Amino acid sequence: MSENYTSSPSNLKITDLRLVDIDGAPKRCTLLKLLTNQGICGYGELRDASSRTYALMLKSRILGENPCQVDRIIHKIKQFGGPSRQGGGVSGLEIALWDLAGKAYGVPLYQLLGGQYRQQVRMYCDTDVEGRHSGHDMGVALKRRLDQGFTFLKMDLGIGLLADEPGTLSAPLGLLEDMKTFAPQTLNVQGGSVTSDMVRRQQSYDFFSTAHPFTGLRLTEKGLDYLENYVREVRSVIGYEVPLAIDHFGHVCVEDCIRFARRMEAYNLAWMEDPLPWIYPDQYARLRQSTTVPICTGEDMYLKESFQTLIQAGAVSVIHPDILTCGGALELKKIADLADEQGVAVAVHMAESPVACMAAVQTAAAMRHVLAVEFHSVEVPWWSDLITGLPRPLVQNGYIQVPDKPGLGFDDLDESVICAHLNRQHPGLWEDTSAWDQEFSNDRIWS
Ligand SMILES: [Mg+2]
């Protein structure tokens, strides 16, 4: 691989930034390519369901830079990142810079981050069951994952399960009916993405974007009984020995999170993920101190400083950063080091293409501790085919082997697979972006 390049790292320069949007891997993914003056290119990706504009606005600020000076470039552009999808431009470019640096020097990303703690990375998989279903149904779906070799499981467990169960939820009268009419996703897809259609429909958007403390939704004892029985049924199918995390519980107040968590204590959960918005560390601390279920958040947090606040508040037992939101590979390594010092476990959120996955795997290989990296595409048969030069499927028996090839560790993208899954709104493949070459503002953040 590296012998194909005749790179002179000191003289390497970024000459262009190109993008392509694909659907279904497992969500909308924006893949990114940095071109250089020496024929090598670096691949990156924006956070799932983000906007390509977050990367395009940075193009003029990195043109002509040497991509091997990763930290220098990130300090120049990190003011343009933020939580959740806003972190996508900075973080997505950062992994592309590492891909280039690795290719320029002929070493894998894990080596640039300090070296290798492990040669394979455990992947935990999400499991969804569509529509109305029982805990037994979910248990059967999870059992299939065990049969596929996965060693760590996660399922959704939200109040959407209660939407059609009378007497399980309370709310200001009429609110639940309005939610079902205007924003059924709010109940059924707790962690789902806001769609452009929802943003245009004000009432729908208002429901979706109301944070947990303000919804007025409560669980009744009957609702708690229902959810507890659901988990008991799941465990009766998969047993108690495999780690099982739960996600997307909400949007209810911290008091109901505590009531719910206490009901979950007998079921040996690996963690309870994002029960509250991460912006409330004090509420997280209260929840964590009120239950023995490990409490987890982090997929929408940008930069180490936000994790520092959370960890110092004693708010979490597990953090769950996403490499495409947190600031990239080096920032993820720093966050993992911080967690390591404070006795907080790390799992890595990942609902993206193999580009982001391999960046996460390379970084996880260089972290002292990692529980597992997330895998969200068990049901996407072409997912592994997006990249070349690595085993297919990429995930085997619940692990990804850490490749020794330069940069992110794969050879190239397979453009025929990309072209078969282009996003309908942005169907172009690596189209010209020169309209962004002159983008400018007074970037100094003080006067
Ligand atoms: Mg999640």
Question: Tens digit of pLDDT for each residue in 188-236?
Answer: 554 456 666 766 767 777 777 888 999 899 999 999 999 999 999 999 9
Question: How far is the centre of ligand 1, averaged over its atoms, from the C-alpha of 305 (Å)?
Answer: 20
pLDDT of 146 reads 97
Question: How far is the centre of ligand 1, averaged over its atoms, from the C-alpha of 259 (Å)?
Answer: 21
Question: How far is the centre of ligand 1, averaged over its atoms, from the C-alpha of 183 (Å)?
Answer: 20
Question: How far is the centre of ligand 1, averaged over its atoms, from the C-alpha of 147 (Å)?
Answer: 23
Question: How far is the centre of ligand 1, averaged over its atoms, from the C-alpha of 273 (Å)?
Answer: 6
pLDDT of 22 reads 96
For tokens 């495999």, the residue is 242
Question: How far is the centre of ligand 1, averaged over its atoms, from the C-alpha of 318 (Å)?
Answer: 12
> How is the chain split into domains, by residue range?
2-108+413-436, 120-170+217-407, 172-216
What 3 state SS string does the chain have?
CHHHCCCCHHHCCEEEEEEEEECCCCCCEEEEEEEECCCCEEEEEECCCCCCHHHHCCHHHHCCCCCCCHHHHHHHHHHHCCCHHHHHHHHHHHHHHHHHHHHHHCCEHHHHCCCCCCCEEEEEEEECCCCCCCHHHHHHHHHHHHHCCCCCEEEECCHHHHCCCCCCEECCCCHHHHHHHHCHHHHHCCCCCCCHHHHHCHHHHHHHCCCHHHCCCEECHHHHHHHHHHHHHHHHHHCCCCCEEEECCCCCCHHHHHHHHHHHHHHCEEEEECCCCCCCHHHHHHHHHCCCCCEEECCCCCHHHHHHHHHHCCCCCEECCECCCCCCHHHHHHHHHHHHHHCCEECEECCCCHHHHHHHHHHHHCCCCCCCEEECCCCCCCHHHHEECCCCCCCECCEEECCCCCECCCCEECHHHHHCCECCCCCCECCCCHHHCCCCCCCCCCC
Quickly count: other Cβ atoms within 10 Å of residue 381's Cβ: 9
pLDDT of 49 reads 86
Question: How far is the centre of ligand 1, averaged over its atoms, from the C-alpha of 358 (Å)?
Answer: 19
CATH number of 2-108+413-436: 3.30.390.10
pTM as predicted:
0.95
Equal fold, 2-108+413-436 vs 120-170+217-407: no
Question: How far is the centre of ligand 1, averaged over its atoms, from the C-alpha of 35 (Å)?
Answer: 33
Residues of the chain with pLDDT under 70: 1-6, 185-196, 198-199, 201
Task: Return d(Cα 189, Cα 158) in angstroms, integer.
Answer: 8
Question: How far is the centre of ligand 1, averaged over its atoms, from the C-alpha of 298 (Å)?
Answer: 9
pLDDT of 254 reads 98
As given in the structure block, the two tokens for residue 92 are 């997505």
pLDDT digits (tens, 9 = 90+) for 151-166: 999 999 999 899 889 9
Question: How far is the centre of ligand 1, averaged over its atoms, from the C-alpha of 53 (Å)?
Answer: 24
- Which CA distances in Å does 419 have to 110, 134, 208, 379, 426? 30, 38, 33, 19, 12
Domain boundaries 120-170+217-407, CATH class: alpha beta
Question: How far is the centre of ligand 1, averaged over its atoms, from the C-alpha of 83 (Å)?
Answer: 14
Question: How far is the centre of ligand 1, averaged over its atoms, from the C-alpha of 321 (Å)?
Answer: 10
Question: How far is the centre of ligand 1, averaged over its atoms, from the C-alpha of 248 (Å)?
Answer: 6
pLDDT digits (tens, 9 = 90+) for 91-112: 999 999 999 999 999 999 999 9
